[in-house]
Amino acid sequence: MAAAPPPLHLVIFPYMAQGHTIPLLDVSKAFAIRGLKVVIITTPSNAPFIVSETSNHPNISLSIIPFPRVPELPEGCENTADLPSMALLSTFIEAVKQMKQPFEGVLRDMIDDGHPPICVISDFFLSWTLDSCRSFGIPRIVSHGMGVLPLAICNSLNLLPHRTKPYADLDPLELPNLKLPFTVHKADIPEGILDSDPNDPFARILEEFREADINSWGVLVNSLEELEGDHVGAFESFYFNDAKAYCLGLLFLYNKLKQEVEAEKVQMQSYSYIKWLEKQAGSDGSAVIYVSFGTQAHLSDDQLDEIAFGLEMAEHPFIWVVRSRTWAAPEGWKERVKEKGLVLHDWVDQRSILSHPAIGGFLSHCGWNSILESISMGVPLLAWPMLGISDQGLNAKFIVSGWGAGLMMPHRGDGGEKIMTVGRDVICERVNELMGNGEGRKVRERAQALGRMARSAMEKGGSSDKKLDQLIDQLINKNGKS
């Protein structure tokens, strides 16, 4: 009787930022459940979190390589969450390049042990892994933290002729090769793509990313064909070598091991904020608004004060995650809202909050992961994009004008300039609109419909489930495995 063939191996290399790492841990589990051996490459400080997320999967192992020591970075800074300032992001990215040699050592050891990986799934920020993969003849699949349409827009903009005259913020951008569900203005575009200074270090880094991206074997996108399938063909046209985009999302909805599901239920019930939500789940139904702007948005104390007063004026129960280390709530405010408001300063399990039936809306910065988590739970968004260096402006327009599952928070003036501080009256008005029965009801119903669609795509035989099987089959055929 012939021996069973050895299991296939693949390597996953996340960028050292939680928003980039967590989706790749989700897809690691999906591969592992299908019987593949997954090696995740990380650094000493990032390893404990990854172990905590993957320890139930014997098919997942870690290969820990050192993070380079750089004088400009604080000791032990191995994740963007540890950066004292985003001004050090370029320094961090340059430091990560020094991991190339130990990364290649991992690949060499796997090959010498008779387990050559069928592919390397590498984060977009780790552009130098393309050269390593080519030297070993291993397909590189690039992973993005953005959706298909925002990626296609950014790629399309790189083909626009160079302009010597700067765009005005509200100038509409003509992108004839894309069919867009909304008008794109300069203000929506991540900084550094239009009117960038070629001598700027970050502009050069972005060009390195793009070159490695379009030359990769394939692209993994955390999205659904049902949500963005109309744009996949246009997106793939920017790639060389007939590279395909694989919409495998929503990654965190993949079937989990039974013990994981049970453990998560037990863990959720231990969170203080879930216990608080249980008390709010009364006759009003989904009455609570969740407020969070991610880990990298930096709001002024004045803006945080206005949010506090705006939430108080709206009179809806709220959970608000405040990341600022310096902000102190206005005098007397916490006492006044103690029955209806819960303010948290530490890490929270956002998915467990959004999945709770008491949650009826999400005031969000519109990071891609947050949008997908909210939509999958049928929760509409009040979109308030924050970071100019990211896709948040495009995501906000997509959720509001493309999907119809959210409302926009006014955050720009008549000339397109960013409003430095959004007032409490505006915040109160928009929160009440989202949570009310007019426009709020429409976007709530749309979000719920999208949630049902997303969950269906992840089930056996759904679009994302089939796309993952297709990806594995194509990698097996490319590597001549049987």
- Would you write out the chain's pLDDT as a tens digit for each of its 482 residues? 455 667 899 999 999 998 899 999 999 999 999 999 999 999 999 999 999 999 989 999 999 999 999 999 998 899 998 888 878 888 999 999 999 999 999 999 999 999 999 999 999 999 999 999 999 999 999 998 889 998 998 888 876 665 545 577 778 888 877 888 888 888 888 776 776 666 777 778 888 888 999 999 999 999 999 989 889 999 999 999 889 999 998 888 875 655 566 666 666 666 888 989 988 866 566 689 999 998 777 788 999 999 999 999 999 999 999 988 788 899 999 999 988 999 998 888 898 999 999 999 999 999 999 999 999 999 999 999 986 667 888 999 999 999 999 999 988 766 667 778 999 999 999 999 999 988 999 999 999 999 999 989 988 899 999 999 999 999 988 876 54
Per-residue pLDDT, 128: 96
What the block records as the tokens of 302 is 């004045």
**What is the spatial distance between Cα 41 and Cα 383, in angstroms, rounded to a whole number?**
34
User: For the chain, how many helices (H) and strands (E)?
Assistant: 18, 13
SS3 187: helix
For residue 395, the one-letter residue type is N
In degrees and rounded to multiples of 5, residue 307 shows phi and psi of: -60, -45
Single out the catalytic residue among 123, 188, 213, 465.
Answer: 123
What beta strand segments (E) does 92-250 contain? Answer: 120-123, 140-143, 218-221, 244-247
- Single out the residue of 406, 407, 402, 409 nearest to residue 448, CA to CA: 406
Per-residue pLDDT, 164: 46
pTM (two decimals) = 0.87
Q: At what angle do helices 148-157 and 225-236 cross, to 10 degrees?
A: 20
Single out the catalytic residue among 20, 57, 231, 316.
Answer: 20
What the block records as the tokens of 445 is 């119903």
Per-residue pLDDT, 144: 86
What the block records as the tokens of 261 is 């599901």
Per-residue pLDDT, 475: 92
CA torsion 317→345→254→47, rounded to 10°?
A: -170
CA atoms within 13 A on the CB side of 247: 24
Active site residue 345: no
Beta-strand relationship, 140-143 and 120-123: parallel
Q: DSSP assignment of 203-241, as one string?
A: HHHHHHHHHHHHTSSEEEESS-HHHHHHHHHHHHTTSST
Ordered domains of the chain (ranges, CATH): 9-255+460-478 (3.40.50.2000), 265-456 (3.40.50.2000)
**What is the spatial distance between Cα 255 and Cα 110, in angstroms, rounded to a whole number?**
28
CB atoms within 10 A of CB 467: 21
Active site residue 20: yes
